[in-house]
Amino acid sequence: MDTTTNSKKPTSAELLAERVLGHVLEHNLEIGAHIKETEFAGVLKVSRTPIRNAFLHLQQNGFLVKKPNQASF
């Protein structure tokens, strides 16, 4: 009998999004604080593209608000 579960592995964007959230909580960033891709890329030592994907994941899950032609909050 097959006892494997159907749980999927988290994507790299999901894993990085968890790291971003951890950093936000660890440093007590306030709600509405302006966060920059370049800053998080430097802090987490990844390029901006993975950060952008992580931010998109956070936005889709209601943790982040992206204002058009502005930064993320």
DSSP 1: -
Domain boundaries, the chain: 12-60
Could you read off the pLDDT tens digit of each residue along the chain, which spans 73 residues?
455 556 889 999 999 999 999 998 898 888 888 888 899 999 999 999 999 999 999 999 999 888 777 666 5
Closest CA relative to residue 40, chosen from 22, 28, 66: 22
Predicted pLDDT at 45: 95
Predicted pLDDT at 17: 96
**pTM: predicted TM-score of the whole model, two decimal places:** 0.78
